[in-house]
Amino acid sequence: MRHVLATALLCTSTTLAYAEADHSAIALATLREVIRPGYAALAEQAAALNDKVGSLCREPSASSLEASRAAFAAAVRAWSKVEILRFGPITEGNRYERLFYWPDPKGLGQRQIQAALAGRDEAVTLPDALPGKSVALQGLPALEYLLFGDGAETLSAPAGDGAFRCAFALAVAVNIDRIAKSVVEDWREGSRYDKAFLSPGPEDSIYRAPKEVTLDLFKSFTSGIELVRDQKLAKPLGAAATEAKPRLASFWRSGLSLANAAGNLEGVRALFKSGFAQVVAKDAPGVESSILFDLDHAIDVLSGIDEPMAKVVQDAASRDKIEALRVSLKSAAQTAADAISRGAGLAFGFNAMDGD
Same domain, yes or no: 321 and 202: yes
What pLDDT shows up at residue 69? Answer: 99
Q: How far is CA 244 from the centre of its chain?
A: 23
Same domain, yes or no: 127 and 162: yes
**Domain residue limits at 297:** 2-25+197-354
In angstroms, the CA 178 to CA 176 distance is 5
Same domain, yes or no: 7 and 153: no
pTM of structure: 0.92
Same domain, yes or no: 244 and 202: yes
Q: What's 119's domain CATH number?
A: 1.20.1420.20
Same domain, yes or no: 6 and 42: no
Same domain, yes or no: 67 and 151: yes
What pLDDT shows up at residue 159? Answer: 76
**Domain boundary at 158, 188, 218, which?**
188
What pLDDT shows up at residue 37? Answer: 99
Are the C-beta atoms of residues 180 and 50 closer than 8 Å to each other?
no
pLDDT band at 252 (very low <50, low <70, confident <90, very high): very high
**Domain boundary at 147, 168, 188, which?**
188
| Count: domains in the chain | 2
- Convert the pLDDT of each residue in 302-354 to its tens digit: 999 999 999 999 999 999 999 999 999 999 999 999 999 999 999 754 444 44
In angstroms, the CA 67 to CA 330 distance is 38
What's the chain's average pLDDT? 93
- Convert the pLDDT of each residue in 96-135 to its tens digit: 999 999 999 999 999 999 999 999 999 999 999 999 999 9
Name the percent of the chain lying above pLDDT 70.
92
Q: How far is CA 280 from the centre of its chain?
A: 25
Are the C-beta atoms of residues 49 and 236 closer than 8 Å to each other?
no
Are the C-beta atoms of residues 56 and 64 closer than 8 Å to each other?
yes
In angstroms, the CA 26 to CA 92 distance is 23
CA dihedral of residues 225, 231, 237, 240 (deg, nearest 10): 100
Same domain, yes or no: 145 and 290: no
Residue 212 has pLDDT above 60, yes or no: yes
- Convert the pLDDT of each residue in 218-231 to its tens digit: 999 999 999 999 99
What pLDDT shows up at residue 348? Answer: 55
Query: Within 10 Å of residue 97's Cβ, how many Cβ atoms?
Result: 16
- In terms of DSSP H, where are the helices of the chain? 2-10, 15-20, 23-30, 36-58, 62-82, 95-99, 108-119, 140-148, 162-186, 192-198, 210-226, 235-237, 257-271, 277-283, 287-304, 309-312, 316-343
- Convert the pLDDT of each residue in 167-194 to its tens digit: 999 999 999 999 999 999 999 999 999 9
Which of 313, 274, 310 minimizes the C-alpha distance to 292?
Answer: 274
